[in-house]
A and B are shown apart, each in its own frame.
Chain A
Amino acid sequence: MAVLGSFALLLALALSVYTFLAGIIALIEGAGSERIGETARRAGIATFGAVLLASVILVICAFHDDFSIAYIFHHSNRDLPGPYKFAVLWSGQEGSLLFWSLLLAAYGFVLRLRYKTDPRLFAYASVVLAGVQIFFLLLLNFAANPFGILEGPLRPDGSGLNPLLQYPEMVIHPPMLYLGYVGFTVPFAFALGALIMKYPGEKWIHITRRWTMVTWAFLTCGVFLGAHWAYSVLGWGGYWGWDPVENASLMPWLTGTAFLHSVMMQEKRGMLKMWNMWLVFATFWLAILGTFLTRSGIIASVHAFAQSSIGDWFAWFLCITLAVFLFFFFTNKSSLRSEHKLESLISRESSFLFNNLLFVLLCFTVLWGTWFPKISELVQGNKVTVGGPFYNRVAIPVALLLLILTAVGPLLAWRKTSLESLKRNFLWPTIGAIAVALFLIITPQSWGSPFGLRPWQDISYFYSLMAIALAVLVILTVASEFYRGGRVISKHTGQGMFASMVQLTHRNTRRYGGYIVHFGVVVVIIGFAGAAFNQDKEMEMANGDKMSIGPYSLICRSYTEDDNPNFASQWAILDIYKGGKQIGTMTPVRRFYKASQQTSTMPDIRSGLNEDLYLVFEGLNQDNGHPIIKAHLNALVMWIWMGVWIMLIGTVLALVPNAPAPVRVPAPARLETAPVTGD
């Protein structure tokens, strides 16, 4: 099987090289070379078949416990449950590179099947995709082969999958993230193709709009699934630790989000063409840079794969892609001139400019923070840590500015907005936001979070209050947009308000889907704002011992153990009381995985709309055998997960084609009829 897998990878490489070279020849020769171009397209389609074959073989080897393959030996074991054996494909370095290559080939497969939309532009995009594919297949064949044979005698069992990865979300989190990372190669391929051929108009933007949105949705899903996995598995009570690997996923998301906004300027006004070209390149490049960071060992990370030589490969690839892009950009930038001028500072266009500035600045801050330990080491000879407190100080003020723009931007008119219109649109939402802020300040703290927010007590409370007030401002402006649009339709059609708003959304799904995405974002922000109210407590608990945290009382009822072929587990059983009444029993677990000889915690989380009770069984006191329990009371966390669902719903809605606008037929002029003369 390993030989067949290796052969499939070599075949895929040969096909990709052919796609690339024959594609270039066909494009250079132009008319008369359609046959070569067609063979290149078909070779590209066949590449998908070859990479798929290699991936299927690797999964089959995992299910057959073929420990002669080093990758399977290091990432699986006989008693590993089936879904995790499937997930072995992306659980280690070599497998995840194969998975990346598979997704790239799959995107290329779809692209090459749909080539009739614009054969020449698609041919350019196909060549760019093939170039990227060649890099990954070179890596797989010569630097990180997943079918490498284990040296030494054949082992009876594998060393098992990392316990932290044995969680249902890890079966879907990496595919989502990779679909996002890899997906941004497609808009980049079209952009570079359009740049090389000096493509007139914005057609490439229209072609890639859905690709970009779908890819963005996958990346969003991947980033937040990672956050949810960290929250549910790592047991430190948080969802985001500003680790370089997490940062690596955030950076392309930020530039991709900026691109989704600024691309509207190009579509509607023919502006920001050069900027969009840079943004789409930056998004693609940052996805690769993130992979370089995590696999080269250059930046320390708890998530990082082991240091290996493939970091050099990525560094070269980054340099080559940058050089290619710069060459074509400076050669052909004359084709990217703006068609219109910007007329006013208070306009939709300028709000997009500031929006882009803040997104790119946030991305730069994350990149700067990720690299600063290395820079500090180079400049002053010693490393420093750049953790959560740094990002909280620098990124939060920028994020709050972005939230203000989220409220203001959509209500500004294209070209120019009058101050009267601003006043009319913002008066009530602003009053509403201030009222909510005052209400949160004057309410008693005994109501629980986020009530009784005293911004002068701590800077984190100030940020929380600002975030919640601005989130309310965004929600009210979005609601007012739906209301005013719905009212117009209702007036003209006589429909009810809700039906009118549905019709309004259906007529311009992109705009109103976008508003729903904004609504989701502010719900997520409210969830983030809750972090200011988090509490935690740790206690050694014998049977009958009681711990109090916030409104909850925890009484340790018992401690027990369990065993299965994959892991042994220890459980603490705790009764939970609120207001003197028992509301449930919670069982945080600690597992010992036999194959890998590693321990992992599985927190028990009781989620509520205003707070999560999060219990971690940290282990047993070696002296007296009492369980050590750490309890976290995390405010508003559920809002984050709800917000993500809303964002995804909004994105799906924005992908739905618009309903046709009602056609108004002008009433025909009355005809002057001749008097009827009867017989």
Chain B
Amino acid sequence: MPRSNTFSKLGAPLLASFARSGSLRRKLAQTLLLCAAVIALVGAGDPASRFNEIGHQMMCICGCNQILLECNHVGCPASDGMRNELMTAVSRGDSDSLVEQSFVQKYGPTVLAAPTAKGFDRAAYIVPFAALFFGFSLIVLVIRAWKNRPAPALADGLHPVAGAELEQFRDQARKETDL
């Protein structure tokens, strides 16, 4: 499976460098490498499960806007033929990417149920996670800025509670509420 292979390619050097810095880390790295290998091997599934997996990554092209294996129209002009093609390709031992390529060539890029991780399509995946990273950083910056902001002034004769005195009040509140 491409997903698993990518994981192994990215994961192996990272884990190897991690492993150089101590025995505990070495053991951890070995365990993780083993896990990565197991995940990579999971890709070599039987034809039925591969058919099921790839079939759920493709769309029926009859216009019903449904996943290929979920299209439930009897007499659908497209889905039966597409399923047969998929089964033939999987039984022949074609790789996932080869099957996808042949379907894209025949039916166009809309046959894939999700954008690929190539070219501009990659933006579909990058943008939400970039937004997450940006939003997370922004919040941390906002919190820092707020922390450094001076406390609002209190009425004459009062001073803000802070430090040990604040902790004392917190303890008192905890005891009184038993929480």
Chain A interfacial positions (CB closer than 8 Å to B): 234-238, 241, 243, 300-302, 338-345, 350, 353-354, 357, 360-361, 364-365, 368-369, 372, 376, 379-380, 382-390, 393-394, 398, 418, 456-459, 484-485, 487-488, 491, 536, 601, 616, 618-620, 628, 630
Contacts and interface: CB of A to CB of B under 8 A. Distances in A.
Contact of A388 (B67, B115, B124, B151): B67
Contacts of B98: none
Interface in B29-76: 35, 38-39, 42, 56-57, 59, 64-67, 69-72, 74-75
A386 B124 contact: yes
Given A372-B124, A385-B113, A394-B128, A619 B139 contact: no
A161 to B, nearest CB: 20
Contacts of B127: 368
A388 B114 CA distance: 7
Interface string B117-140: 001110011011101100110011
Nearest to B57: A389
B152 A387 contact: no
B110 A384 contact: yes
A379 B123 CA distance: 11
B72 A601 contact: yes
A54 to B, nearest CB: 34
Contact of B3 (A237, A372, A459): A459
Nearest to B49: A458
Contacts of B142: 342, 353
A241 B114 contact: no
Contact of B115 (A236, A340, A372, A620): A372
B38 A456 contact: yes
Interface string B58-99: 010000111101111011000000000000000000000000
B74 A618 contact: yes
Nearest to A271: B146
Give the secondary structure class of A's interface.
mixed
26 contacts: A234-B72, A237-B70, A237-B72, A238-B70, A241-B66, A243-B65, A340-B152, A341-B152, A343-B147, A353-B142, A354-B136, A365-B128, A376-B121, A380-B120, A382-B109, A383-B110, A384-B109, A384-B110, A385-B112, A385-B113, A387-B113, A390-B125, A456-B42, A488-B178, A488-B179, A618-B74
Contacts of B170: 418
Contact of B59 (A368, A385, A484): A385
B143 A350 contact: yes
Contacts, number: 136
B128 A364 contact: yes
A388 B65 CA distance: 11
B106 interface: no
Interface of B: 3, 35, 38-39, 42, 56-57, 59, 64-67, 69-72, 74-75, 108-115, 119-121, 124-125, 127-129, 131-132, 135-136, 139-140, 142-143, 146-147, 149, 151-152, 170, 177-179
Contacts of A458: 42
B42 A457 contact: yes
Contacts of A383: 109-110
B140 to A, nearest CB: 7
B108 A300 contact: no
Given A357-B135, A457-B42, A236 B72 contact: yes
Contacts of A456: 35, 38-39, 42
Contacts of B119: 380
A44 B178 CA distance: 53
A342 B147 contact: yes
B135 A361 contact: yes
A376 B114 CA distance: 12
B37 to A, nearest CB: 10
Contact of A361 (B3, B66, B131, B178): B131
Given A384-B115, A618-B72, A341 B124 contact: no
Contacts of B66: 236, 241, 302
B132 A382 contact: no
Contact of A385 (B3, B114, B131): B114
A619 B147 contact: no
Nearest to B151: A341
- Closest A-B pairs by Cβ, 8 of them: A619-B74, A390-B114, A342-B146, A387-B113, A389-B114, A357-B135, A365-B128, A341-B149
B38 A628 contact: no
A618 B79 CA distance: 14
A376 B75 CA distance: 32
Interface centre among A343, A389, A491, A630 (most CB of B within 10 A): A389
A353 B128 contact: no
Contacts of B42: 456-458
